[in-house]
Amino acid sequence: MGQESQIVGFPGTNPYSRTHVNPERAGLLLDAGCNITDISPSARKLIGYGPAAPIDPCFFAHIHSRNLVLVMRDLASMACNGKRRARWMVRMRNADEQWVWMRVTARKMDQIRPTGFGFAVELAHLDA
């Protein structure tokens, strides 16, 4: 396994893993439109959602408006300009509608079906 595949626990050669996150890591997958296509149980727990609780599929809905421009700019740069990775300290909305500081790392993942690419995102509380 290469270092790049470790960001959300993806084995680099398993095509199944490019559509699902490792359940032991606090990670999620975004499609090219930044919609959440998969979220690990640990990521759900980290932001306060139960296993069956509905979660807004738009990644940007979980980011505080003061952090949103930076996140959108970096993801657009990853989509269009060849940037491979971005890291942020942002406020994210949890299930209780409270804002919590998170460390977020995103990596562009090529060859994700059906859009051709997407983003693997890992979350951690800022104090972790």
Give the CA angle between residues 10, 15, 18 to the nearest 5°: 45
Q: Which of 51, 15, 9, 48 is nearest to 27 (CA)?
A: 9
Q: What is the pLDDT of residue 6?
A: 34
CA separation for the pair 86, 63 (Å, rounded): 15
Residue 92, SS3? strand
Q: Comparing 32 with 123, which gets the higher pLDDT?
A: 123
Give the CA angle between residues 88, 89, 92 to the nearest 5°: 105
Q: Comparing 54 with 6, which gets the higher pLDDT?
A: 54
CA separation for the pair 9, 127 (Å, rounded): 22
Length of the chain: 128
Q: What is the pLDDT of residue 112?
A: 57
CA atoms within 13 A on the CB side of 16: 1
Q: What is the pLDDT of residue 41?
A: 93
**Confidence at 11, pLDDT banded by 50, 70, 90:** very low
Q: Comparing 63 with 4, which gets the higher pLDDT?
A: 63
Q: pLDDT, tens digit, for every residue of 62-107?
A: 999 999 999 999 999 998 888 889 999 999 999 999 999 999 999 9
> Domain segments of the chain: what residues?
4-125
**Confidence at 126, pLDDT banded by 50, 70, 90:** confident
Domain 4-125 class, CATH top level: alpha beta
